[in-house]
A and B are shown apart, each in its own frame.
Chain A
Amino acid sequence: MADPMKIRATTLGDSTEVKVLMSHEMETGQRKDAQGQTIPAWFIQNVIVTWNGRTVLSAQWGTAVSKNPFLSFKFKGGAKGDRIAISWMDNRGDKRTDETVIA
């Protein structure tokens, strides 16, 4: 199982900034190993962020996203103490969900 995400969410004025670090290899499928065998593509495909259960961001990712991706975005309406949950699923079906509260 993948390592936990690092999430920070802070509200300033009427907008909430969410910053997420995810631990993932993000193999492109273009690289070869020492034996010359292609390393199969392995990447996060879907990302969903919810705020108190309501989806505020949903994304489909591909192989162009870097290893150990960093995602940062803002949305309106969040308040201190609200719950932010982030889930990703990769092309092998591995999943991970982590939560935080807005500070």
Chain B
Amino acid sequence: MKAVRAAVALVALAIAPSLLAQGSTADEIAKYRAALQDGNPAELWEGRGEALWKQQRGPKNVSLERCDLGLGAGVVKGAYAQLPRYFADADRVMDLETRLVWCMVTLQGYTEADAKKNPFGNGNDRKSDLEALTAYVTSESRGVKMNVPMRHAKEAEAYRVGEKLFYFRGGTHDFACATCHSEEGKRIRLQDLPDLTTAQGAQKAYTTWPAYRVSQGELRTFEWRLYDCFRQQRFPELVFGSDAAIALTMFLARNANGAPFDAPAIKR
């Protein structure tokens, strides 16, 4: 009896440390995020984005204040919670970043190449206007429930394509998004990875982008998140504003429906 009890105790000891280490790491990262939330530098991007939104720019020297993000010309409040969506004027499903480029072209007179030449900042002197504008627009949806529409046939098509892409295995590592993001409790280094196939996982992930990445000193948008996931999987480069990028965004945004949007956030 004594021997059995000792054996049980040993087993318990052997399991406990690894479980404890995992739990406490995630807890500590959560505490770290909470501590940083108060002074989230994403606010600096929001402020710069708001100024850019209202400033008269481009060859036509007009502001973006007449830009229609889906809720009518110039309506920013709550717009991001209903994106991506189908836009009749472009006859295309668009996410926020693509729509911003559209407005910069149609309203401000930029060429498309000019409007999207710098989608992501380099964490240093080269700052991205698109990241700042995205920070501003998304901040105006904080607390608004995700409500991505799927009424138009093209919206349904984008969702289906996005779902296909999510499960599509390929590249040198024979990877898919689903390889890391379809099970509970997976990690990359010390970061817990969300299970994006569950409503809860998709909601938690989608509603916390864009985010200020402390390790990069840069605000990152959801398109950047997808772009970098593709890089990490050794996939071909995900082209900014491409149908593939929008379809994946559509799939994940739609799965996040019902949860209050809570970004720009702060992440490690």
Contact = CB atoms under 8 A, between A and B. Distances in A.
Given A21-B39, A72-B38, 17 more contacts: A3-B44, A3-B47, A4-B47, A6-B44, A19-B39, A21-B40, A21-B43, A21-B44, A23-B41, A25-B124, A67-B41, A67-B217, A68-B44, A68-B217, A70-B38, A70-B39, A70-B41
Contacts of A72: 38-39
Contacts of B217: 67-68
Interface string B37-54: 011110110011000000
Between B38, B43, B44, B217, the greatest number of chain A beta carbons within 10 A of the residue's beta carbon is seen for B44
A85 B43 CA distance: 19
Interface in B16-39: 38-39
Interface of A: 3-4, 6, 19, 21, 23, 25, 67-68, 70, 72
Given A19-B39, A68-B41, A70-B39, A25 B47 contact: no
Contact of B38 (A19, A23, A67, A68): A19
User: Chain B, interface size: which category?
Assistant: 10 to 19
28 contacts: A3-B44, A3-B47, A3-B48, A4-B47, A6-B43, A6-B44, A6-B47, A19-B38, A19-B39, A21-B39, A21-B40, A21-B41, A21-B43, A21-B44, A23-B41, A23-B44, A25-B124, A25-B125, A67-B41, A67-B217, A68-B41, A68-B44, A68-B217, A70-B38, A70-B39, A70-B41, A72-B38, A72-B39
A38 B1 CA distance: 68
Contacts of B41: 21, 23, 67-68, 70
Interface string B186-203: 000000000000000000
A69 to B, nearest CB: 9
Nearest to B216: A67
B29 to A, nearest CB: 18
A29 B124 CA distance: 14
Q: Which 9 A-B pairs have the closest CB atoms?
A: A70-B39, A68-B41, A67-B217, A23-B44, A6-B43, A3-B48, A21-B43, A21-B39, A3-B44
Interface string B109-133: 0000000000000001100000000
Contacts of A67: 41, 217
A70 B124 CA distance: 18
A70 B214 CA distance: 12
A3 B127 CA distance: 12
